[in-house]
Structure 1
Amino acid sequence: MAPMTDHALPGDAPTGLALVIRAVRCWREARDTGQPTQPCLARALESADAMMLAPVFDSLCALFEIAIARPMRCGEAPALSGDERLLLGIVDGSTPRRSCIDCPEGAASALDCAICSTRIMMALAVGPRGAGRH
């Protein structure tokens, strides 16, 4: 199996939205190279002690692509793509999903659930009391 690219951004802290970008880019690379996404995500998130987020990001990325009806486009550090900015805005709550992604009700509902799960799990994993840091 080919090594995955290190998707850390310059000054990348292992928390917050930089972690989302790391995961999104890893997920896209795994999909593009035909590798299983969750093991790749777990390896990419290991240095941030956030391996438990692999299934969360896997679902979020897959459902985001279903909702936008095409493969997600990723930027190259330090630039963000429009899709990455959109996903970050949706995850951080600054961009309401309903106002920017018009998709069938089932896809919208599934993506909304993935967004909520991502927010909750990120707060648990990398929040002030993050994983293993109680």
Structure 2
Amino acid sequence: MIDKIAWLHLVDGRVLSTRSRGKDVYYLPGGKREPGETDAETLVREVREELDVAIAEPTIEPAGVFEAEAHGHAAGVLVRMTCYTAEYTGTPRASSEIEEIVWLEYADRDRVSAVDKLIFDHLHETGRLH
């Protein structure tokens, strides 16, 4: 099981997504925790590394946990994505290993990883992703 933390940032029915260098699908911003890190510490670090913005820790709110087969890994390897919403300061820009940042709608569901598809479905069903 791959344990990942992700930032759900929605604006006007679209969600902020990223594509890493050499990857063919989009992922929600975030990543794997380092040893001893809390979810909040992982979220703050990963979003700063990927998008060069500062998550406001007091605003972090849980937004769901989703599991699916991990994209680009051997069959049977699962990823557990624990999602959070949070306010931030700064202007998101592609940084570190991120090649591209985009705003995706539900119609873009086929462009994201398997676990993100589940998240897109949930956001669409709850009226948050158009």
Higher helix share: 1
Higher strand share: 2
Structure having greater relative contact order (Cα 8 Å, sep ≥ 6): 2
Bucket of the pairwise TM-score, normalised by the shorter protein: 0.3 to 0.5
Q: TM-score, normalised by structure 2?
A: 0.34
Q: TM-score, normalised by structure 1?
A: 0.33
